[in-house]
Chain A
Amino acid sequence: MKLERSSALIGMVAAGALVFTACGSDDNTASGGADVSESTASCEGKATLSGAGSSAQKNAMDAFTSAYIAACQAKGKTVNVAYNPSGSGDGRTQFIANQVDFAGSDSAIKGDQAAQAAQRCAGSEAWNIPLVFGPVALAFNIDGVDNLVLSGETAAKIFNGQITTWNDPAIAALNEGTTLPDTPITVFFRSDSSGTTDNFQQYLEAASNGNWTQGAGSDFKGGVGQGAKGSAGVAQAVATTPGSITYVEASFADQNQLKAAAIDTGSGAVELSTETASKSIESAKFIEEGGGNLALDLKQTYASNEPGAYPLILATYEIVCSNGYPADTAEGIKSFLTSAVNEGQQGLEELGYVPLPETFKETVVASIDAIGGAPTQ
C-alpha cells in the first residue's frame, strides 16, 4: 500500500515536471562573437544601467548588452545593462519618473511628455537617439502567390476595408503577370497597443495619397480584420490563415516563413531587404537638423519615392537626458551607447534589424558624445 502510494506520488511529480519543462522555450543562444577588441567604450561610470520600454528593440538590446559586457570584460571591467521590454509607453513613463536611466521607445518623446522628461533631466532636454531600425514587412499568405507588389495606396485601402478581395483591379494593376485569386482578404492587426501599429499607420497616412483617413496611434484604427496578440501572434495568425495579410517586423515574418510584399513607391517595386531598408535610413531627415536631439521626420521617409529605398521602416529610439544625469550615470550611458553603435551593430542583421548606415552612425556618435556629464567630471 505504502509502496504503491509513493510510486503514485513519484509518477505525479514526474508528470508535473514534464508539464513544467514543456513551457521552457527560452531562446538563450548567445548573440555571438562580436569583435570587441577595438571597442571605444570607456566602460567607466555607473556599472549597472537600467532601461525599459519598446519590446521591438528587445533583441537588439540583448545583443548590445552582451557585446558591451564582452567589450568591458576585455578591459577588466564588469558592467551590465538591465532592459525591461515593458512597452514604449511604460518606458517613457518610467524614464520621466526617474526609475530607469534610459527608455527605449518606438516613437520620439514629444509634447507634454518631453516637458516632463526635461524636469527629470534637471531642466535639460531629453534626447531621442535612433539606434535600432527594423523594416516592417507586409506579410501575406496567398495560396499560389509568391510575389506580391503593393503600393502605399493599395495597402491603405486593404487595411481600411476599401479593397476586400485579392483580385481587386487596383492590386492586379500592380501585379501584372500574377494570377491573383478571387478570395476575400483577411486583415490581421496587433490587438495590443504597439509602436509598430503607430509607425505603420503613420506610414499609411503619409504614403496613401489621402486614402488613409483614420489617423495614427498605437491602436489599430482601420476598422477591419482581427487582432492577434503581439508580433508573434499576428505572424502566426497569417501563417495559418490563407488569404491573409498583416504588418509585422521582418524578423517575425521570416521566422514564420511568410512572404513579404514589395512596395511600389512610384519609382518601381522595392523588395524588402537590408540594403533597401538601409537606403531609406540613410536618407532619413531629422526634425531638428544639426541638434543633438535626433528625432526623425519619418513622414518624409514614408512618402519618399527614392528608387530602391524600402520606405516602411520602424525606427526606435533610446531616450536619454542631454544633460543633468549624475556624473557616473552620464559616463555609463555614453559608454554603453558608444559600444552599441560600434561593436553592438555586428550580428544585428541576423536578428532582423538593419545596422546603422555609416553616415548615419556619425551623426548618432556625435550626439552621444554631446551628452553632458555633470561638470564635476
Chain B
Amino acid sequence: MSDAPTRPRADASGPLDEGAGGGPPTTSPPDRTEAKIATQPPPGKKVSRPGDRIFSTLATSASVFITVLIAAIGIFLVWRAVPALQRNQVNFLTSSVWNTTDINDMAFGVLDLFQVTVLVSFFALLLAMPVALGIAIFISNYAPARVARPLAYVVDLLAAVPSIVYGLWGLLVFAPAISPFAVWLNENLGWFFLFSTGSGSVAGGGTIFTAGIVLAVMILPIITAVSREVFTQTPVSHIEAALALGATRWEVVKTTVLPFGRSGYISGSMLGLGRALGETMALYMILRTTTQPFSWSLFDGGSTIASKIALGYAEFNNDIQAGAYIAAGLVLFILTFVVNATARAAVAGRKAK
C-alpha cells in the first residue's frame, strides 16, 4: 500500500485564508534578479559548490535509477515470457483458454483477462471520478477549514486500508448488500449489454459489478488527494477577480478552479486508473472465475490479469509455466504504460491550447 500519494502540505484551507496573496509578489522580484546575476557570469563555472554537485548527482542518479529499474522490469518480463510463448499453441492475444499445467501442451491466451481488466478498471474509474471531483471541490472551496482538514484525513485514510480488507469486505459484506440492486438492474435494464445476464451469478455477487464498485472506493482517495492539491493551488487573483465580477461560489469554481485544476484532475484519475488496473488482492477475493467466454456484461465473472497471476502462483511447477503468467503480466505492463502515456498526452495537449 505504498501508492498513496505523498502530501507534503496538509493545508486544505487554501490560500484564501492567507489574505491578499501578498507572499509571492513581494518575494519574487529579488529572486528573479538574483537568478539573472547568478547565471550571467559567462564561462567561469565558479558558482558550482559542493552542495550543488552532490545534490545534482543524487537527483540525476535517482532518475537514472528509476529508468533503469523500469527497463529492467520490462526486460525481465520479456525474457521470462518468451520461452513460454514459444511453446504456446494458440494465439496469445486472441485466445481465451488458459491451460498451462502440461508444458509440452500449453495453450494460453490473454484476451478474456485483458477485457475483464479493462472493463472492471474503467467501470471503477467511471464511478470514482465524479465522486472524487465532488469531494475535492468541497474540501478546497466549500468546507470551512475546520471540517476540511479532518475530511481530507478521512479520505486519505481510505488509501491506508489494506486491499485484502477491501476484498473481504466486498466478498462478505458488500456483495450480499448490493445484490438486490444488481438483480433489479439486471431485470429492468438487461436489454443494455452492460447489465445483461453474464457468466457470473447476479445474486451471488462475485461479478465485475461488485468488484468495480469496491475498486472505485479503493481508487477514490488517490484521485481526491491529487485533485484537491491542485484545486487549492488555484491563484487567488483568479478567484478574487471572479468574485469581483460578481460571480457566485459555483461560478467561481466553474470559471477559475475547474479550468485551472483540470489537468491535475485528469492526471489524478490516471493514477487511480493505474492502481485499478494493477489491483490484485481485492479482485482475487471478490471475482468469481468462470469457464464461459466474456460478454462485456458487468455481471460476468472472470479474472483480471493480476488476479489470474495470484490465483495461479501457488502451483507454479517450473519457469515455463510461470512464464505464461509473466507473459500476461507483460500485457498488463504495456497496458498501464499506454494508459499513462495517453493521459499525459491528453494533459499536455490541453495545456498547449
Contact = CB atoms under 8 A, between A and B. Distances in A.
B261 interface: no
Given A240-B176, A241-B201, A12 B150 contact: yes
Contact of B316 (A89, A112, A220): A89
B149 A8 contact: yes
B311 to A, nearest CB: 4
Given A4-B146, A12-B150, A240-B204, A222 B291 contact: yes
B161 interface: yes
Interface in A220-279: 220, 222-229, 233, 236-237, 240-241
A226 B285 contact: no
B154 interface: yes
B287 to A, nearest CB: 8
B317 A113 contact: yes
A89 B314 contact: yes
B312 interface: yes
Contacts of B109: none
A134 B149 CA distance: 55
A186 B301 contact: no
A222 B301 CA distance: 16
Interface string B302-326: 0100000011111111100000000
Interface residues of B, number: 43
Contacts of B285: 229, 233
A237 B317 contact: no
Contacts of A30: none
Contacts of A19: 157, 161, 165
Interface residues of A, number: 44
Interface in A73-91: 86-90
Contact of B288 (A11, A12, A226): A226
Nearest to B175: A240
B209 interface: no
Contacts of B312: 192-193, 219
Interface string B198-209: 011101101000
B301 A226 contact: yes
A48 B234 CA distance: 61
B237 interface: no
Q: In this complex, which of A12, A195, A229, A233 has the most chain B Cβ atoms within 10 angstroms of its Cβ?
A: A229
A156 to B, nearest CB: 16
A209 B315 CA distance: 28
A112 B2 CA distance: 40
Interface-central residue, A11, A22, A23, A191, by most chain B CB under 10 Å: A191
Contacts of B157: 12, 15-16, 19
A124 interface: no
B289 interface: yes
B99 interface: yes
A191 B160 contact: no
Interface string A183-197: 000101001111100
B260 interface: no
B204 A226 contact: yes
A217 B317 CA distance: 12
A5 B10 CA distance: 13
B162 A87 contact: no
A89 B149 contact: no
B154 A12 contact: yes
A42 B99 CA distance: 46
B63 interface: no
Given A5-B149, A8-B149, A226-B206, A236 B172 contact: yes
B284 interface: yes
A229 B98 CA distance: 17
A293 interface: no
Contacts of A219: 98-99, 101, 312
Contact of B314 (A15, A194, A237): A194
Contact of A226 (B149, B289, B314, B318): B289
Contacts of A23: 162, 164-165, 168
B314 A87 contact: yes
B290 interface: yes
Contacts of B200: 226
Contacts of A192: 310-312, 314
Contacts of B193: none
A191 B313 contact: no
B169 to A, nearest CB: 9
Contacts of B203: 241
A55 interface: yes
B314 A193 contact: yes
A86 B288 contact: no
A12 B153 contact: yes
A222 B171 CA distance: 24
B178 to A, nearest CB: 14
Nearest to A16: B157
A89 B311 contact: no
B196 to A, nearest CB: 17
Nearest to B285: A229
A218 B315 contact: yes
A194 B315 contact: yes
Contacts of B164: 23
A15 B158 CA distance: 12
Contacts of A228: 206, 288-289
A233 B161 CA distance: 21
A92 interface: yes
A233 B285 CA distance: 8
A187 B56 CA distance: 61
Contacts of A55: 314
A68 B162 CA distance: 35
B270 to A, nearest CB: 28
A224 B310 CA distance: 22
15 contacts: A8-B150, A55-B314, A89-B315, A89-B316, A90-B315, A112-B318, A191-B289, A193-B314, A194-B314, A194-B315, A195-B315, A218-B101, A225-B290, A228-B206, A228-B289
Nearest 4 pairs of A and B residues by beta carbon:
A87-B314, A227-B289, A193-B315, A89-B315
Given A55-B314, A219-B99, A241-B204, 16 more contacts: A8-B150, A16-B157, A86-B314, A87-B316, A88-B315, A90-B316, A93-B317, A113-B318, A191-B303, A195-B315, A219-B98, A220-B291, A224-B291, A225-B291, A226-B199, A226-B204
